[in-house]
Chain A
């Protein structure tokens, strides 16, 4: 583990200890929340990494490039969007998938669209939202967020290219 990460971990442990000693209720609340998320992660991660491993050996770089890379155009965007809206769990498991897509030759804009759709435009989430906040709120947010995600994707691709960041 890198030094910086070790520091963060140490600080986290200290924060928990401090809370548990001096703010018992808040500390327990934090610990319970962390436990819940830990359970969820432990459950999801083996499945996701298995899919990633299979993807790595079976899907050739050329096909990722062709369908999600430069020149994949509107179809590539659409595929990335569809891929992201599938009901597939919390955002943090999308990061390693995004990394793999980039490594396999997908363009940055499409990967950002994928992440954005995963985070903000997931179908089950939309249904929940419509139930609690109403159809017009949900549809307006959905359309505006879709436009925003596209804009963020293109902006990021431009900026990262300009700054010569490679993946």
Chain B
């Protein structure tokens, strides 16, 4: 597994277990309640998680980093930028892979605007995580957040193309 993920996971468990120990020491009843709530949330999160995992796998299988590089490499017109934004929104690539990919796109002749559009929608817009976002925060929240993030990502990309 990637070092980044291991580190984040370790941090979460150090925090959670430390907090749990403290909680148990302070109030056993409350701690029991907290564990019960944790169990319930886990059950609630499971279906959404499975859906996200299924979608992520499919999309990564169908749209590999090589495919993205192939389509965006030399392309630098407005349609390339738009395509980059769509690719970014659709895929969920860990940053360990996405930044080297973005760097290789630049080398292959893609414009700053295109690369910025790709990176920004990649991190801000989540098509594959939408089922989980909808379950947790509702349809309106999800559509608004992702829609606005997509629009702003394109604005950010255009500004970056002008000033860099």
Contacts and interface: CB of A to CB of B under 8 A. Distances in A.
A47 B13 contact: yes
Contacts of A112: 145
Contacts of B30: 57-58
Contacts of A47: 9, 12-13, 15-16
B52 interface: yes
Nearest to B49: A41
A79 interface: no
Nearest to B34: A53
Contacts of B15: 47, 51
B79 interface: no
A22 interface: no
Given A89-B12, A156-B145, A148 B49 contact: no
A140 B157 CA distance: 10
Nearest to A47: B12
Given A52-B37, A120-B123, A159-B144, A92 B129 contact: yes
A148 B155 contact: yes
Size category, B interface: 35 or more
A26 interface: yes
Given A33-B60, A144-B160, A152 B5 contact: no
A8 to B, nearest CB: 6
Chain B CB count within 10 A is highest, among A26, A31, A34, for A34
B56 A9 contact: no
A5 B131 contact: yes
Contacts of B34: 50, 53-54, 56-58
A89 B51 CA distance: 18
B95 to A, nearest CB: 5
Interface of A: 1, 5, 8-9, 12-13, 15-16, 19, 26-27, 29-35, 37-41, 43-54, 56-58, 87-89, 91-92, 95-96, 98-99, 102, 112, 115-116, 119-120, 124-125, 128-129, 131-133, 136-137, 140-141, 144-145, 148, 151-152, 155-156, 159-160, 163, 165, 167
Interface of B: 1, 4-5, 7-9, 11-13, 15-16, 19-20, 23, 30-31, 33-39, 41-42, 44-45, 47-58, 60-62, 64, 95-96, 99-100, 102-103, 106, 112, 115-116, 119-120, 123-124, 126, 129, 131-133, 135-138, 140-141, 144-145, 148-149, 152-153, 155-156, 159-160, 163-164
27 contacts: A1-B47, A12-B51, A15-B58, A26-B62, A30-B57, A30-B60, A32-B57, A33-B56, A33-B60, A34-B53, A37-B53, A50-B20, A53-B38, A54-B23, A88-B11, A92-B132, A99-B137, A124-B95, A131-B99, A132-B99, A133-B106, A136-B164, A137-B116, A141-B119, A148-B156, A155-B144, A156-B141
